[in-house]
Structures are given as C-alpha cells and as structure tokens.
Amino acid sequence: MKADVLIVGGGLMGCATAIDLVRHGKSAIVFEKDVPGRHASGHNSGGVRCQGRDIREVPLAVLSRKLWDDHPDTVGSDCGFHVSPRLRLAENDGDMAKLEKRHGELSSMGFEHEVLADREEVRRLSPNISRHVVGGLVCYTDGLANPMLTSKAYAAKAEALGVRVLSHHATVSVSASANGFALKTSDGKTHEGGALVNAAGAWAGKISAMLDDPLPVVPVAPTMMVTDRVPGLMNGTSLGLTGRALGLMAAKNGTVIVGGGYRSPFDFDNEKIWIDSTQMAKASKLMLEILPKLRDARVVRFWSAFEGNLADKVPIIGESTKVPGLFHVCGFSAHGFQLVPAVGRVMSQIVRGLSPEISLSDFRPDRFA
Amino acid sequence: MKPHPSRFAQKDSSADIERVTVVLDGLPIHVPAGTTVAAALLGHDDGHFCLSTADGERRGPHCLMGVCFECLVEIDGVKDRQACLEPVREGMRVRRQYEQADG
Amino acid sequence: MSRPMVETKPKHDVIVVGAGPAGLACSTELVGLGVSVAVVDEQGEPGGNIYRNVTHLSAQQRKVLGLDYTIGRELVEAFLAAAPDYLPRAHVWQAEATGNVCLSQNGKSRKLHAAYLVLSTGAMERPVPFPGWTLPGVMTCGGMSNLYKVSGLIPSDPVVLAGSGPLLWLVAEHLFVMGAPIAAILDTSTRKGAASAARHLPGALGRLGYMMKGLGMMAAVKRAAKENKTPIYRDVKNLRAEGGERLGKVRATSGTQDLCFDVATLLVHEGVIPETALLRQAGCAHRWNPVQRYWHADVAADGRTNLPSVFVAGDGAFVHGAKSAQLKGQRTALSIARELGRLSEVEFRSRVGSVSKELDKELRPRPFIDALYAPRGDLFHVADDTIVCRCEGVAAGRIREVARTGVVDPNEIKSIIRCGMGPCQGRMCGSAVLELAVEASGVAAEQIRALRQRPPIKPISLEELAAADLDVVSPRAGRADEETR
C-alpha cells in the first residue's frame, strides 16, 4: 500500500496526526502493533490539565485545552471529558514561593489560566484538605477524560475519514530512500510513503533506531491506582503537590484516580510489568496526609502501562535532523493526554511543510545532543 | 421502619445452642456462635445490607462465598467488610450501610 | 529488562492459597514430606466451600449432608494434624510470579515469600444475569448451602429454586430433608445437553458409582417433590425476579405456560466455573473451554503453569469436583517435593503412579458431566435493560452497543463503560460481558482477550495499604520523583 504519510503507532498522537492530515488532503496509513489504545493512550490516568506543565509546553497546552471542547465535532465523542479544577498545593512557604514564581512567569508570558489560591480558596475548593496546606495554584478549566473512549474515538474518526488504521500490524523494519520510506509490517507486506511519523510511544526509540536516528526516549511503567466511590470527598477538585509526588484526580463518578510518577519494574521485550505494590503503599501514605478522610476509601485497582519517557520530561515533536521526512512525536510519559488535539494539529502542519502555529523549537529531537 | 421478620429459621432450634451478643445498628442481638455475620443478619430480620454505590439500590447477600461484594457492612468501625466471610464475635459492632450514595 | 528480585530469604518453601480439598491435600502431603508450608485462606475454618464448617457440624447436619462429608472431615483432620502455618481469614490480594503474596489479615496487609506458590482458589457459581437478579432475596444455591452448613439456617418462607446443574438438585434434596418449604423447582436445562452428553456415556460408565449417585439424587428430589406437592417445571425460560426493595415475585415460562410465584427467596444456579481472579492476576496462561464456556488455567497434569514458581491445583484449573481437586492437590505436592529434593526420583515415581491412576478414574465421567451440564446456548441472551455488572449498574444493552462498534475486548469495554470496574473486579459480570461481546460481534470467544485482573484482587482500605508491611522489595522499584500528570 502507498500513502502520503506512514504513521507508526495507532495511539492518540498517531491518530490525531492522521486525522488532521487527511482533513488537509493528505492520505495516511497508521500501523499499530496491537490495537489503538492498548498501551499509554488507553491506560493513562486521564488527566487533561494545563496546571503544572513545564513552561515550555504551556502555549501548546492552552491551545489544546480549547480544542478539547470541540471533540464532539472533531472526533464525534466528548471523550468523557468533564471539568475538575486542578489545584496544586503548597504544603509550606517554600512550596508557595515556587508557585508564586511560576505564576509570575506565566503572567509575564500573557497566560492567565493558573490562578493563585490562598488558604481560604483552597478550603473552598477542597474542604477536606489537611490543615497544613498553606495555599495553591489552581487551574479552573482543567479536567479529566476517559483514555480508552478517547483512543477509540480518535481511531474511529481517523478510519471514517479514510485513514487506514491497521491493527495487529507491527512495524518490522523501515528504510528511507530518496523517494520516501518503505515500511515492512509483521504480515510481510511492504508499504510506501513520502513521509514517516514516529508516534510509537514507548516503542519510539526502537522505530527511530531502525532509521539510524537514535532518540533518548526510554520505556517506563508508570503505576496508578483508583479507589471506590467516595462521593463529595474531593468536592470535584483534583489535586497535585508541589514538593512531593502525588496526583489525585476526582472522577465524575466519585472515584479517585491516583498517580504521581510512581513506577513498576518491567520486562519490555516480553511486555510484562510487575506491579509494585510498595509504590502504591507510598502513595497511600501521602494521600492520608493530604486528605485524612480518605482513610476508609477502598483501593480497587492498581494498573500500569508502558510510556515513552525523556530525561527532561518534555516531549519530542519535530522533524529528524538526520533523516528528512521523518517526524518524531514521542516522550509524553506522565503528561496525561491533554496535549493530543494540539499536537495532532502542529504535527500535521510540519509534515505538510508548513510552519507550525506554535513554535516547536523547545521540542526538537536533537536537543539532547 | 422495622424490617420484616427473617425469612430464615434455625434448623437446630434447641435452646442450649451457644450464642454471642452482637451490636447491630446500636442494638444488641443474640446470634448463634460460629456463624458468619451474613448468616447472623439473615437469621435476625429481613433488612438489606448495603446500598449499591452506583445506583443507590438496596442490596443483600447473593453468593455468600466472598465473590459478589453485595453483603458489605461496617464491622467494628471498618466499612465495606464482606459479611459472608466474617465470623461473629462477642461484642462485635455491626452496622448496615444505609447511607445514600450521591455519586 | 528489570526483573523484580527478592532480597529476603524465603520463610516458607511453599505458600498454598486456599484451604479447600486441593489446598488441604496439597499442604498435608507437603508437610508430610518435610516441606515448610504456609496456607492462606479466606474462610475462618479449613474446608473450602464444599466442606464448609465440616468439623463443627451437628449430628443432624451431618446426617443431611451425607457420606461425602466424612471424606471432608478426614481431610481437614489430617490437615490440622499436619499443622502447616495456617492463616485463616486472610485474603491474598496480589500474587507475584516470583513467589510473593500480599495478603490482608485482621485488617493488616503484609507480604509473604516462598519458593513456590500453589494457587488452589477453587470454583464459584457461574453468574448469569436475569431481570431483577440484584434484588435482595435473590441468592445462589451454593450460597444457600453455605448458610445451612455454617449456620444451620434454612428458609422459613417458601423459596423457588431455578437453574440447572448438580448443585441445584443437591440443595433441593438438602432443603427437602431439612423440611424447608419449596414453592417450585424451575429446571432451565435443555434436552440438547443430554443428547450431546450421551456420546461421553461409555467413559462415564467406567465410574458407575458416580453416575448412580447423581441419578439417586435426582430420584430423591423427585420423590420428595411429589410428597411435598412441589411442582418441578422443565424447559424453563424467561426467569425474572420482581419487587420494589426486595424480591417479591418470581416469574418464568415453562413451554407455553406462564409461571408466577409470590416468594421472598429465589435460589439460582447455572453451574460452576473456576475462580481464576488470582490466577489471572499472577499471570498464569489461560485456555478457553468451548464446552463449559470458560477460561481456565492452562496447566500440566501436576498443576504446573507457564510460571516456573506457580502451580494451580484443584477446580481453579478446571472444575472436576472435590475428590479430583484433592487428588490434584496431592499430585502438585509430589512434583514440588521432588523439585525441592524432598522426594527422590524413585520415591516420586512410586507415589505419583497411584495418585495419577486414581485421578484418571475420577476424571473419566467428566466429559459426560461437562457436556450434560454445558451452559445452554441462550443462557446469556438477556434483554438490553437487564443489569449485567452488579457493582456498576451496567445493563446488557450498553455492552452490546460498545461491542457493535468493534470494541469486543472485555478489558476495553470495561475501560469505556465501567462494567467490571467495581469491587468484585468483574467476577460477577465477566462471563456475561464476554458472551454479550461474542453475540454482538460474531467474534469467537477464544479470539477475544480474557479479562485481566489487577491487584488488589479484593479491595483494601487506603489506611491498610498505607500501613502495609511489604518489605520484600525489588531492587529496581519505581521512583516517585516526577511531576504528576
């Protein structure tokens, strides 16, 4: 098969890119080794937040947040999105100073989406919070969505627009020539395209290695958990900490989703993750410090999925400096999936040879050299 | 409102059966020793055990072997215990989980 | 690759999970061979569901429950005499392929480690949704039998029994003997099962005693039903429980006849399936059985799984009944003892022969029984508005709707509409979700990924988890140094 663009990875980044490309007249094939949503796209913690993002990502995040509201039109599903203000807590004056500094930086850039909250406002947003919390920074427009529903909606929309989404088609090899790329799939077939998008998530490093363009993206297995329903306890407000690692998301149904960069050991080649319960025990201790009333909440499930991680915690979005026509989009571990719609758009722009509507210079693949 | 009397009866109804006192919703009840909390409650009256946290509907024991999580009660201050797996003990405090979920 | 490694020395050679026939026989045998064993069990007393409360039964209860219970009693007594490290009322909430288990006992969680795990988690009744099955008053036959075994509790108001399978008839027989009022027995089995079972009859006849027992039980129920003027309806369909806050009415059809009973208790049963939650969570490979229509652990004759340290013994691997479970437990014990060097090759050979022979004999009638009591084709043809996932209140129509969009993997369906996300972790809806996905999509069950099980396989409170003593740590345990997402 032939197409203008070959996309490796049927997760959200790959499908979002494909959707925008076909909307602009390009043809695309998506190669997915499992099914869309099998790994990080379908199993992340569901956070749709601007709050707490690296300053470099903020312009992209602010654009993306607007695009989340358009999902019923753009992908035919609301993706389960609902607003849950995200409150980043200061547990002491040092934390508060950090948040104030961030707020100042954002203001100077012209961004007003994150607002400083004093003790009183913190209590109003989250009445059950521990007394030691001194203040916070809140983003009232942040929220949560359903990762699996979103993954399936994106893949279905891509297919409806004419993208070939080939599930169970692992990419065995890929090579570049003057005319573009030849990609061989696990069924033995070869596909040709003018451009190649590496949206392979945790496997992005393997794909880039096939083209002699190594990327420092490594697989990790972030580990999360969810409680049973504790209606009202979070007051619909999601929480993060400033000096310690914890993220608590208040799902609409009353459950609490817990993340914060906890990880489990794994065997990547055999795709096995040994869920490390000691990590979840650590998270539980922290949770009780922040919200003592969570004591009786029951932990219903731990889970984990492979994600691609980069040392500076900022993704790669851009064209390879070594292989023209190869575009990387990876390294979103611990980002939730808030950036998806905006990244799909700017990826499509650069693949089509346009300059992106938001500068991607901070996300260059060669920034690690 | 007082629940309907139990739909079950003790097969061995001899008077010398050993009993323990359990505090059910604040009131002492005398139940056969060696039974589970679920059996003790089913033998006491016809009340339900808990409310579905998804839709607030009344629920009671279904599988009685630890699988279904429909017989959840509060035992000695700890919520959501599986009554079918918990043996009764003298002085044990048991509460039915009446609170309406609002989620 | 970063394999979790265990740093502490194992305290036990073997951890056995479950104290039913398989777990009891396995641990007793192992202790006899000088192996150190910890036995973790949910119940307060050894015996499992089948031999529940076996050591404390009154003379009257023993008379009702019959001869098989004597076997159970001997098994439990041998176990207690062997005296392994026995942890009753303890829930294993995570089993790791390396030999770790995380367990909760008396509200406290901790980790145990052994060189081998034997998972003998037994069986559970096949949950089959029908309208009104969430109403208080709708219980299972197995549940009822636990009630009278443990508590001597029998129905005082009339009950209806509905379903198919040996346990339905056994419970009916027991209830009749104990004088409980039965309004009706609704037999949902079909003639088709009997026809396809017939081809297995020659094998089954090799175990004539077994067959006679089954026939004797049916005859006893029919006799008692006649004496008590309890009607037995055949070819029953459209079972429905009705009531406001609890069960008040049971409706069904038998052929062209509409049935309606004003009862407060309905006892249902549609066969028995392996309880595989812990097995799946641990990572044991599973296989689909097209006759009994369930996933079961794919094990060798000695219970060996794909995981080198993990064995599955008893009904958890395939439902063969109590006697077989006991023999399977023994068989597993012999293999582990040999691997641990407690049995020489010669000793092993001499012992394993007789156990295997007895097990073969026991398994001979099983193809006949499996075919006879195979779930009928329309068992899961439930109406769209019937609740399937009891925990999350998800109805059949929603599952069909999602499956029709091409999403047939129960794991994905779960993520999208929450069926299987509640505290029972899909134990109650798993069979039905799979069958509905098959029905809506036309994809064969064995082509669909089985429902995964995540730890903790039974919920634990946050307070308990925070205080858990999980000291066996992997050297490359995760970090918590990142910005949260």
Higher pLDDT, A67 or B11: A67
* Interface size, chain A vs chain B, as Cβ–Cβ contacts under 8 Å: 19
Which residues of B are less than 8 Å from C275 in CB distance? 67
CB contact under 8 A, B8 and C154: yes
Over 70: is that where the pLDDT of C9 sits? no
Closest CA to C250 of C130, C406, C388, C401: C130
Determine the number of helices (DSSP H) and then strands (DSSP E) in chain B: 1, 8
Express as a percent the part of chain C with pLDDT over 70: 90
pLDDT tens per residue, range A243-260: 999 999 999 999 999 999
Higher pLDDT, B18 or C35: C35
Please state the length of chain C: 485
Express as a percent the part of chain C with pLDDT over 90: 78
Over 50: is that where the pLDDT of C244 sits? yes
- Residue C54: phi and psi, rounded to 5, are -65, -30
Average pLDDT of every residue of chain C: 90
CB contact under 8 A, C423 and A298: yes
Q: Which two tokens stand for residue A37?
A: 């949503």
Q: Which two tokens stand for residue A146?
A: 């359903």
What beta strand segments (E) does C141-219 contain? Answer: 153-155, 159-164, 182-187
Residue A292 pLDDT: 97
If pLDDT is split at 50, 70 and 90, which confidence band does C69 have?
A: confident
Q: Are C432 and C380 in contact (CB under 8 A)?
A: yes
Which residues of B are less than 8 Å from A253 in CB distance? 103
Maximum CA pair distance of chain A?
Answer: 64
- Could you give the CA distance from residue A142 to residue A83 in angstroms, rounded to a whole number? 6
If pLDDT is split at 50, 70 and 90, which confidence band does C228 have?
A: very high
Q: Hunting for tokens 């692992």 — which residue is that?
A: A170
Q: Which of A252-256, C218-222, C434-438 has the lowest mean pLDDT?
A: C218-222
Maximum CA pair distance of chain C?
Answer: 73
- Could you give the CA distance from residue C206 to residue C218 in angstroms, rounded to a whole number? 20
Q: Are A23 and A45 in contact (CB under 8 A)?
A: no
- Could you give the CA distance from residue C417 to residue A148 in angstroms, rounded to a whole number? 10
pLDDT tens per residue, range C298-331: 999 999 999 999 999 999 999 999 999 999 999 9
Q: Which two tokens stand for residue A132?
A: 């030691």
Helix (H, G, I), strand (E, B) or coil at C109: strand
Q: Are C25 and C327 in contact (CB under 8 A)?
A: yes
Average pLDDT over residues C274-285: 97
If pLDDT is split at 50, 70 and 90, which confidence band does B98 have?
A: confident
Average pLDDT over residues A17-23: 98
Residue C478 pLDDT: 38
Average pLDDT of every residue of chain A: 96
Cβ of A27: how many Cβ atoms within 10 Å? 17
Helix (H, G, I), strand (E, B) or coil at A152: helix
Report the residue from A223, A267, A278 with minimal CB separation from C470. Answer: A278
Query: Topology of B19-96 in CATH?
Result: Ubiquitin-like (UB roll) (3.10.20)
Q: Which long-range contacts (CB under 8 A, 24 or more apart) does A54-57 make?
A: A54/A313, A54/A314, A54/C483, A55/A102, A55/A105, A55/A106, A55/A109, A56/A314, A56/A362, A56/A363, A57/A314, A57/A315, A57/A339, A57/A362
Q: Are C93 and C458 in contact (CB under 8 A)?
A: yes
Residue C218 pLDDT: 82
Q: Which two tokens stand for residue B42?
A: 């089913």
CB contact under 8 A, C283 and A272: yes
Residue C481 pLDDT: 38
Average pLDDT over residues C412-419: 96
Rounded to the nearest 10 degrees, what angle do helices A12-23 and A340-351 cross at? 50
Interface of A with C in 23-62 (CB under 8 A): 35, 37, 42-45, 47, 49, 52, 54
ipTM score for this prediction: 0.95
If pLDDT is split at 50, 70 and 90, which confidence band does C212 have?
A: low
Over 80: is that where the pLDDT of C485 sits? no
Choose from A150-164, C183-197, C369-383, C464-478 the range with maximum mean pLDDT.
A150-164
Rounded to the nearest 10 degrees, what angle do helices C410-417 and C396-404 cross at? 120
Helix (H) or strand (E) holding C211: helix C208-227
Average pLDDT of every residue of chain B: 89
Residue B1 pLDDT: 61
Residue C73 pLDDT: 92
Q: Which two tokens stand for residue B77?
A: 């201050």
Tell me which chains share at least 3 CB pairs under 8 Å with chain C. Answer: A, B
What's B45's DSSP letter? B
Q: Are C415 and A146 in contact (CB under 8 A)?
A: yes
**For residue A299, what are the contacts with CB-CB under 8 A and spacing of at least 6?**
A225, A226, A227, A280, A284, C456, C459, C460, C461, C462, C465
pLDDT tens per residue, range C146-198: 999 888 899 999 999 999 988 999 999 999 999 999 999 999 988 766 666 66
Average pLDDT over residues B49-78: 94
Average pLDDT over residues A197-226: 97
pLDDT tens per residue, range A101-145: 999 999 999 999 999 999 999 999 999 999 999 999 999 999 999
Over 50: is that where the pLDDT of C37 sits? yes
Structural domains in chain A, CATH included, are: 2-63+147-216+312-368 (3.50.50.60), 86-140+223-304 (3.30.9.10)
DSSP per-residue codes, chain B: -PPPBPSEEESS--TT--EEEEEETTEEEEEETT-BHHHHHHHHB----EE-TTT--EE--SSSSSSS--SEEEETTEEEEEGGG-B--TT-EEEEB-PPP--
What's A283's DSSP letter? H
Identify any residues that bridge with A29 across adjacent strands, giving them in sequence order.
Answer: A6, A164
Q: Which two tokens stand for residue A185?
A: 């799939």
Amino acid sitting at position A272: K
Parse chain B into domains and list their residue ranges. Answer: 19-96
pLDDT tens per residue, range C186-200: 999 887 666 666 666
Q: Is the peptide bond before C456 cis (omega within 30 degrees of 0)?
A: yes
Over 50: is that where the pLDDT of B100 sits? no
DSSP per-residue codes, C80-95: HHH--EEE-SEEEEEE
Q: Distance from B50 to chain C by nearest Cα, in Å?
A: 10
Identify any residues that bridge with A174 across adjacent strands, giving them in sequence order.
Answer: A183
Structural domains in chain C, CATH included, are: 12-125+273-343 (3.50.50.60), 138-270 (3.50.50.60), 387-447 (1.10.10)
Average pLDDT over residues A232-249: 96
pLDDT tens per residue, range A312-360: 999 999 999 999 999 999 999 988 899 999 999 999 999 999 999 999 9
Average pLDDT over residues C1-26: 77
Over 60: is that where the pLDDT of C296 sits? yes
Residue C203 pLDDT: 63
Helix (H) or strand (E) holding C438: helix C430-441
Which residues of B are less than 8 Å from C50 in CB distance? none
If pLDDT is split at 50, 70 and 90, which confidence band does B11 have?
A: confident
- Could you give the CA distance from residue A29 to residue A196 in angstroms, rounded to a whole number? 10
- Residue B88: phi and psi, rounded to 5, are -75, 145
